[in-house]
Structure 1
Amino acid sequence: MAQTPQQRRANLKFAKDQEARMGKSEDQIKKRVKEAPKSPISPIWFILLGFVVFGGLLFEVMSRIFL
């Protein structure tokens, strides 16, 4: 069964990572820290969503109190 281009890229990436590890001790390998995963939503959209939700809640509470 032939490899798909996606599988081929993944295999090349894995082979490159393994080759970079060759000849290094476990301590040297553990020092290499991978980046933390990024949030799928940007901070601007998160703030906007919070403003809409909490702003709507605030207006709803105010309308129930004063009317």
Structure 2
Amino acid sequence: MAIQTPRQRLANEKWAKKNEKKLGKPKVKAKDQVSKSPISKPWIIALIFLLIGGAILELVSLLL
């Protein structure tokens, strides 16, 4: 990265302030934010129920 002169640094800060007014402040992501699962809890519960229920039915049909 190139070294900035004080004049360049001031110009960059001025441009950043002007650009921030135009575009708004950037959204800051929290580092501690927990990522969400792409599938909601009710769907996960329904899938587990179907898998376990299917396995139980399969075991019952094998034993009978």
Q: Cα gap change, 1:16/1:48 in structure 2, threshold over 3 Å: closer, same or farther?
A: same
- In structure 2, the partner of 1:65 is 63
Give the count of matched residue pairs.
41
* Higher helix content, 1 or 2: 1
**Higher relative CO (CA 8 A, sep ≥ 6), structure 1 or 2?**
1
What TM-score does the superposition give when structure 2 sets the normalisation length?
A: 0.51
Scaled by the length of structure 1, the TM-score of the pair is: 0.49
SS in 2 for 1:16: coil
CA displacement 1:5-50 (0-9 Å, x = unmatched)? xxxxxxx57x6258xxxxxxxxxxxxx6441110000010000001
Output the CA distance in 1 between the equivalents of 2:40 and 2:27: 30
Partner of 2:52: 54
Runs of at least 5 residues in structure 2 that lack an aligned partner in the other structure: 1-22
Match of 1:45 in 2: 43
Q: In 1, Cα distance between the equivalents of 2:27 and 2:40? A: 30
Q: CA RMSD in A?
A: 2.4
Q: Specify the alignment match of 1:23 in structure 2.
A: none
Residues 5-16 of structure 1 aligned to structure 2 (within 5 Å):
16=26
Q: Give the letter aligned to residue 40 of structure 1.
A: P
- Seq. identity, %: 34
